Amino acid sequence: MQKYRYCLTIILFVHSAFVFALPEMTITIRDHLFYPSEVLVPSGQKVKLVFINHDPTPEEIDSFELNREKVVFGNAKANVYIGPLEEGEYQFFGEFHPASAVGKVIVISPEAYANAH
């Protein structure tokens, strides 16, 4: 009986990992610029943004609209979780290089997001 309970626990754990997987977008930082500078995300869902900094210097990701702030050290990566968000555009920038490191999260309906990918 315990063997079946163990197997059921494993199956439920693996299933929940797929069901609750967050949409993930990767944004690279190179020469104090974000690539891509605009990312599409679905409305009403939590999203994981992965920032990979290829520059030797740190960058501080800042967004007043998203209420987020995160330092990404040089040649490192950092995760920023956002949402769930309503449809619209949300600006973010690199606080250490605000003239060049600028980006935008564009939140669209889940249907439009599915069609875009």
Place of tokens 């920023």: 80
Which domains, ranges and CATH numbers included, belong to the chain? 23-116 (2.60.40.420)
Burial of 51 (0-12, 13-18, 19+ CB in 10 A): buried
State pLDDT tens for residues 68-81.
999 999 999 999 99
**CA atoms of 5 and 20, how far apart (whole Å):** 22
pLDDT at residue 16 greater than cutoff 80: no
Query: Between the CA atoms of 38, 55, 74 and 27, what dihedral angle is there, to the nearest 10 degrees?
Result: 20
Q: What DSSP string describes 23-36?
A: PEEEEEEETTEEES
Whether the model pTM is above 0.95: no
Strands 24-30 and 47-53, how do they pair?
A: parallel
Residues 54-73, mean pLDDT to the nearest whole number? 98
Place of tokens 């309970």: 5
State pLDDT tens for residues 87-111.
999 999 999 999 999 999 999 999 9
Query: Between the CA atoms of 53, 56, 62 and 66, what dihedral angle is there, to the nearest 10 degrees?
Result: 10
